[in-house]
Structure 1
Amino acid sequence: MTNTKSEASVALSKQHVKQLYALTAPILITQLAQIGMATIDTIMSGHVGTEDLAAIAIGSSLWTPILLFVAGIMVAFTPQVAKLVGANQTDKVGDILGSAVMVGIAFGCLTGLLLYFFGPMLSYLLADPHSAMLMREYVEAVAWGLPAAGGFLALRFHAEALNQPGAVTRIMLAGLLLNIPANGLFVYGWLGVEPMGGAGCGYGTLLVFHFLFIAMLINCYKHRLPPHQRKLATFFTMKRESVISLIALGIPIGSAIFFEVSFFSVIALFLTPLGTEVVAGHQVAINMSSLTFMVPLSVGMAITVMVSQQLGREQADEAASISWLGMRVNISLAVLNASLIILLAPYIAQLYSSDPEVVKIGAALLVFAAIFQISDAIQIAAAGALRGYQDTIIVMIITFFSYWLCGIGLGYYLTFETAEPLGAKGFWIGIIVGLTFAAIMLSYRLHKVSKKALK
């Protein structure tokens, strides 16, 4: 009997692993395509000059956490759709789709206005006047694209909740490819357009955001709306209860993501007094970290779905099993990422810049990026599982404390206040400590929550 149970447990575990990878794959491709746009901006601006790279580094550190905050809010649309799908009421999904699209556009407008009017004020952090000007032009252009990005995010999570992530992946990959000629048009002056340098990346991003929204709108209209709802008004009709529910569930998720991403972004702002080379080198390491971050993040999103499904079936034991399985998978992937970063650090840095000083700083900081891969993977897996248990507010609190109080505080002290300041390395030590603390606290919280669900 014991052997039979053991064999059944192993078979179930293998089934969960297959399901986890099947869910993760399309999400990962979509996430990589999304972050790949920022990578293209960084690489193309870096080959114009160090001043351009520094401007894009600061500009990206402003709008990226803002966009991910909106994305966090729109993630809450997924369980709303999934609930209707589970109840075999797919025809009613269109009734709440318009609310999500309008919430996405509304938050895109609000954050776009915030970025347009207040983002350029931070250009004073760049000592070089040319870099400051490029940064202002870059963020102002991106700001005009955020409403379209918000609408796209609503349509993206709608498709994924209907088990059609492939459509999102194809459109994101098309957007990624479009970003190269769009940037080249404005950055380098292709087709006779006056070259704008790094600031042109903002206009390239603006075009891509609108392409993503329009392409996703057409795809949804053709493939995911029943005949009686196949009209333009479906996408722009709001319902009060749906809007309130979406915002109430989405704000804690969006805030937690914002705290984590802005933690990395604010560090770039603190490093500006150390010079454009340091900021550019830091951006190299951060951008590479953002790419590797997409792997555990995608696993975490898949964990959320699988844990929610098991809890919906009232199988708390399998939900707990999947939570810890996901963590083990993330740790394995983190070890692989860390090994590759350490081995290839000098070559990775050379992809971003031809400035020897930037390459030197970037390669040194990439070693720190490799170190924090494991703790980052653990905390992402734990947070993903906890969202499956709908324990979102505690995740938000732990995230804020770990990154903003623990990580930023220690990093600032080591960078500027010690007898022998460590420079950029001080902040990267703070990053490692903050992520480690988050990994410990979120794992403990997951242990308590999963144990409570079992009882």
Structure 2
Amino acid sequence: MSFASFAAGESRTLLRLALPIMATQLAMVGMGTLDTVMSGYVSTLDLAGVAIGAAIWTPVWLFLAGLMVALSSSVARANSAQRHDDVPKLLQAGIVLGLLWGTLLGLLLVLIGWGLPLWIEDKTSADVAMFYLLAIAPAFPSSGLFLALRFHAEALNEPGQVTRIMLTGLALNVPLNFLFIHGITLGDVQLLPALGGIGCGVASSVVFTFMALALLRNTRKRRLPVGFPLWQDVWSLEASRKRSLMEMNRIGVPIGIALFFEVSLFTATALFLTDLGPVVVAGHQVAINVSSITFMFPLSISLALTVRVGHYLGMNDFAGARYCALTGIGMNLVIALLNASVIWLGADTIASLYSPDPAVVAMGASLLVYAALFQIPDTIQVATAGALRAYEDTFAVMLITFVAYWVIGFCSGWYLAYLRDEPLGAAGFWIGLIIGLTAAAVALITRLRIVGQRHIRAAQTAAA
């Protein structure tokens, strides 16, 4: 079969899997967008506080999500290799991993939140950010459970129910945000205090917990063997269960760290920009939030690629795995060009949706131009990383992303923002992001070519 005919069929399969994943991702980012927009209409200081808090918890959550992607690859391989008895046991290992890591990361957010007033000069923004983090931290164990159940369903090509639950959570987030931001007053009695931007964290925490419980109920009814005791011996330390848990942790931790490296770059940028004032921080958050929304499209293709490439690898079809990876990268490049065009042409209009403050709108619009430019390297690198996850080549991806994002991207951004003769401020950091992402895209494509050819040669040697 020619690559063109393969790509035509595989692109349709990828889209069928990626579109519900995309809706799930957009619903997730939509909750963050609602927090940003609704806190912005309370005050610019509330928006800045929520922006700082979101810039901290989002990369931590994405580390957890990256960790749990390992379950997706493992389940896809087991399912395509007809090892169906292993699938529910892998889910059990994923649930244990998600709950343990979710608890640890929730405690980490509490510690970070307590330290924020020491780092941030503006007391109001610091207090909003601190209590926003303290409100959202208790939901992280539930997030770990939700992610395990989600990636299990997506690996079995059943993402629809996950999408419906996420969209329900997004719909619930609107009234809950309003409720906790503005409070409830009955006559002269304050039934619920008005928490301002902090209320967004409380609402998100409630929604995350609801989604985990809803997906757990759905999984037990629809995707497990009849009568399978999901919780029986779930904490057992028998040898096979320990192996599954340790293997998933070995594969997943580098994935989580790689995602953390990328997103924490935005976090570090937001924190370092606090010295330039709340308007710069708020404008930076506008550009980050728009970029997060557009990133969900290529990220969804990447997650679908992990499942589909894993499917071919489970069948020992290494040529198919390579063709599938190339198809996904090509699809992401088309998405990048569309995203960049929309952001570039609509920068002013998009920024005005986030705040009534003209200074915030102007700053956000100027940074959106740079956000449009980095769409191309960002979509290429995320698709390539998704394919490499299926090959379980996660440690190399972690090293590449660290060097590209932090050594190249952050250092160049720092120089352009503060150290050159005419400092560029926030724009300098965004140019650094573009440089870092381009380096990551080139290195990951090179790595994918090496790994893919290695598997094909190994198969040819075995056949000979």
Q: What SS does the aligned partner of 1:127 have? A: coil
Deviates more, 1:424-433 or 1:19-28: 19-28
**What does residue range 103-252 of structure 1 map to in structure 2 within 5 Å?**
103-190=97-184, 192-230=191-229, 232-233=231-232, 239-252=241-254
Structure 1 residues 304-344: Cα deviation after superposition (integer angstroms, max 9, x where no partner): 22222223333322222222222121111101000000111
> C-alpha distance in 1, partners of 2:322/2:74?
23
Contact kept, 8 Å, 1:120 with 1:139, in 2: the verdict is no
1:63 aligned partner: 57
Q: What SS does the aligned partner of 1:197 have? A: coil
Q: What SS does the aligned partner of 1:271 have? A: helix
2:6 aligned partner: 12
2:358 aligned partner: 356
User: Which of residues 385, 388, 409 is equivalent to 1:386?
Assistant: 388
> C-alpha distance in 2, partners of 1:199/1:386?
39
1:447 Cα deviation after fit: 2.1
Contact kept, 8 Å, 2:132 with 2:201, in 1: the verdict is yes
> C-alpha distance in 1, partners of 2:287/2:84?
44
1:226 Cα deviation after fit: 1.9
Matched positions, count:
449
Contact kept, 8 Å, 1:95 with 1:234, in 2: the verdict is no
Contact kept, 8 Å, 1:300 with 1:385, in 2: the verdict is yes
1:35 Cα deviation after fit: 1.1
User: Which of residues 293, 309, 312 is equivalent to 2:311?
Assistant: 309
Code of the aligned partner of 2:287: A
Code of the aligned partner of 1:166: G
1:259 Cα deviation after fit: 0.7
1:356 Cα deviation after fit: 0.7
From the two aligned structures, give the one with the greater helix fraction: 1
User: Which of residues 373, 383, 386 is equivalent to 2:375?
Assistant: 373
Deviates more, 1:209-218 or 1:74-83: 74-83
1:343 aligns with 2:345: yes
Contact kept, 8 Å, 2:416 with 2:428, in 1: the verdict is yes
1:276 aligned partner: 278
Output the aligned Cα RMSD. 1.7
TM-score, structure 2 normalization: 0.93
1:232 Cα deviation after fit: 4.7
Structure 1 residues 191-223: Cα deviation after superposition (integer angstroms, max 9, x where no partner): 752211101111001101110111011111211
> C-alpha distance in 2, partners of 1:236/1:201?
34
> C-alpha distance in 1, partners of 2:413/2:39?
28
1:235 Cα deviation after fit: 6.1
> C-alpha distance in 1, partners of 2:337/2:184?
42
TM-score, structure 1 normalization: 0.95
Percent of aligned positions that are identical: 48
Contact kept, 8 Å, 1:52 with 1:198, in 2: the verdict is yes
Q: Could you list the runs of 5+ residues in structure 1 that have no partner in the other structure?
A: none
Deviates more, 1:183-192 or 1:350-359: 183-192
Code of the aligned partner of 2:64: V
Contact kept, 8 Å, 2:347 with 2:365, in 1: the verdict is yes
State the 4+ residue runs in structure 1 displaced beyond 4 angstroms. Answer: 234-238
1:54 Cα deviation after fit: 0.4
> C-alpha distance in 2, partners of 1:205/1:236?
29
Deviates more, 1:117-126 or 1:280-289: 117-126
Q: Are residues 217 and 234 of structure 1, via their aligned partners in 2, closer, same or farther at CA, if it must alter by over 3 Å?
A: farther
Code of the aligned partner of 1:368: Y
1:176 Cα deviation after fit: 0.8
Contact kept, 8 Å, 2:40 with 2:355, in 1: the verdict is yes
Code of the aligned partner of 2:163: T
1:442 aligned partner: 444
